[in-house]
Amino acid sequence: MAKSKDGSEKVVLAYSGGLDTSVILPWLKETYGYEVIAFAAELGQGDELAGIKRKALDSGAVKCIVKDLRKEFVEEYLWPLLKSGAVYEGGYLLGTSIARPLIAKHQVETAHAEGATGVAHGATGKGNDQVRFELTFMALDPSLKIIAPWKDPKFTLKSREAAVEYAKKHKIPIEQSKKKIYSRDRNLWHISHEGADLEDPANEPKDDLFVLSRPVSKAPDRPDYVEISFEEGIAIRLNGSKTDGVKIIETLNKLGGKHSVGQVDVVENRLVGIKSRGVYETPGGTILVEAHRALESLTLDRETLHYK
């Protein structure tokens, strides 16, 4: 792997433009002198990627690469997830989990294309994302250096309050503040919320927490009906009209969100042995999972269904 002309190493950072990666980008540059290439995956985050190239460059990136991976995300990841019926600990539909290997795969491809010697991520040392990213990196190219600032002793921004202060000092625009400080991850399938007042399991989610869906108290008291057609386990039509997977999920997100469908509040067990409280919104995904289960109940014989 080649270095840049001035001898500094190039690294590809999985960049969302959120709080963690917004401060990690300039930190990598000022701490180790890396030339940072920001890689952003378009996975259906809504308007979160608006202006992300300018933000990355203003924060010190030498380049920002954005790839639209929505079609691949749906066809190669979400449809197999739906067909398998995978639900973690009875509630979590794996919205963050399922996207990480896809991001890491394209990060490695970007590193190869750009002549980078390393790949970096903003996952903490106490969560599952570090495992998802790093196992994918190692599987696809074990020669790449893996840079994980949250596990680096030199990284002192290990609270969201400290990260907010660092961002202000370096004039990096962020949405978070010390009062609005949820850790969120959004894509076409879901949005997750962690941290802040949710750390206490006695606190119920506030109404202003929700992004993809309405609070239950504001949902309409009249139902809507939708017809979903499946072929070999894959949704192919909505209300009789054939459409692509991305559009199906987007449409169901709006419909489900209107009716507060897919709100899940769980305290889950992480791979590293700690518990984590998360609130998830998966409106379209929940409709699809329930429709798929209903179809299975009609079509699968007893032994097949019980085996599954």
Active site residues: 20, 100, 129, 183
Tokens of 236: 């192919």
Tokens of 261: 């469908």
Which residues, 6+ apart, have CB-to-CB distance to 144 below 8 Å? 1, 108, 111, 116, 117, 118, 119, 137
Q: Could you please report the per-residue DSSP string of 244-288?
A: -HHHHHHHHHHHHHHTTTTEEEEEEE-TTS-EEEEEEE-HHHHHH
**Structure letter (DSSP) for residue 50:** T
Angstrom distance (rounded) from CA 212 to CA 29: 35
Going by C-alpha positions, the residue among 13, 271, 26, 36 that lies closest to residue 122 is 13
Do the beta carbons of residue 74 and residue 43 sit within 8 Å? no
Angstrom distance (rounded) from CA 82 to CA 234: 8
* DSSP reduced 3-state for 141: coil
Angstrom distance (rounded) from CA 110 to CA 13: 10
